[in-house]
Amino acid sequence: MRILLWHVHGSWTNSFVQGDHDYLIVGPPDGIGLAGRPWRATETALSEVDADVAVVQRPEELGRVPPGVPVVYLEHNTPSAPGQRHPMADWDGPLVHVTHFNDLMWDCGSTRTIVVEHGVADPGPLYTGELARAAAVVNDPVRRGRIVGTDLLPRFDPIDVFGMNTEPIGGLGDHELGSLHRELARRRVYVHPVRWTSLGLSLIEAMHIGMPVVALACTEVVRAVPEDAGTVSTDVEELVRATRELIADPALAQEKGKRAREFALARYGLDAFLRNWDDVVEEVAG
C-alpha cells in the first residue's frame, strides 16, 4: 500500500519504513520530508499525494490529509496527567498507542484504541563495555528538566550524556544513529533517568546492543526491562549503587546485558512491530 505520513519522530519512523509498503513522507512546505535520512521512502508534496492510508501523529495534520484517504492516528506521548482528555477523544477512527501505559492513562472517550508496541531494527550485539562509565540518551535536557531526570544525572557520574542540545550540561550532543549505537556500546551500563515520558526508543536500542540497564520504575519501564537485565526502581540511591556495581564488575555487566538483548529481541523486535502495523493499516484502508 501507499502510506502517507509526516516525519515527526525519526527513530520510530526509521522502524516503520522498514516494511513492505510504499512510504510517502510529506516534504516542504507542509513537512520536513526525509531530512537527510537514508530511508526507503519517497518525499512528496501534499498536492501530489495518491495514498491508500494516512498515519497522522499531530492534530494539525488531520486537516491536511487529502480528501478520501482513510486515517489512523498515532499517539507517541504520555498525557501530562492521568485525567487528561486526548485531542482525538470520541473520534470515529482508530487511535494507536505505542505503550500499554499510554493507553491506560489517556482519556480517549469512545475512540477505539490499539496498542502497537515499539520495534527497532536490530543494531547487533555491539556491546564491549570497555569504558568504565555510564551512558544516557536525553534530548533537550535543559528545556525538559525534571521530566527527563536531568537533575538526577550528576548522581550517576561518571556518565556520558548523548542527545540533542545536551552540550549545555556537558553532554556529547546528537549523533547519527549508527554512531550513537557504537558509542553507547563502549560504555558499561545504560542509565534511564526519565520520570515521565513515553518509552524511549534509545532504552530499547541500548538493550538490543547488549547493555545492562539501570532505570527509574516509571511509565512503561517496568514492563520493558526484566529483572535479570539490570535494576529498575524508584529509589535513586538503589539505582546509583547498581550503576557503580556494574561499572566495577565487567563480567556482571556483560551477563546482564546479554539478558537485556535476549528480552529486547523477543519483545521489541522489528518483525512483530511491522506485522502489527500491517494489520492496522490494512483494516483502516479497507
Residues 39-54, mean pLDDT to the nearest whole number: 93
Domain shared by 258 and 183, yes or no: yes
Can you give the pLDDT at residue 47?
Answer: 87
Domain shared by 147 and 262, yes or no: yes
Domain contains 126: no
- What is the per-residue pLDDT across 144-154, written as a single tens digit (0 to 9) for each? 999 999 999 99
Domain shared by 84 and 137, yes or no: no
What is the number of domains present in the chain?
A: 2
Domain shared by 43 and 137, yes or no: no
Domain shared by 164 and 243, yes or no: yes
Using CA atoms of 25, 27, 32, 34 in order, give the dihedral in degrees to the nearest 10.
50
**Percent of the chain scored above 90 by pLDDT?**
96
Query: pTM above 0.85?
Result: yes
Domain shared by 158 and 263, yes or no: yes
- What is the per-residue pLDDT across 189-248, written as a single tens digit (0 to 9) for each? 999 999 999 998 999 999 999 999 999 999 999 999 999 999 999 999 999 999 999 999
Q: What CATH number corresponds to the domain at position 15?
A: 3.40.50.2000
Domain shared by 115 and 161, yes or no: no
Domain contains 253: yes
Domain shared by 103 and 182, yes or no: no
Domain shared by 278 and 170, yes or no: no
Give dist(CA 59, CA 63) in Å, integer: 8
Residue at 247: amino acid letter: I
User: In terms of residue numbers, what domain contains 152?
Assistant: 131-268
Domain shared by 92 and 41, yes or no: yes
Domain contains 215: yes
Can you give the pLDDT at residue 82?
Answer: 86
Domain shared by 206 and 277, yes or no: no
Domain shared by 107 and 14, yes or no: yes
Domain contains 104: yes
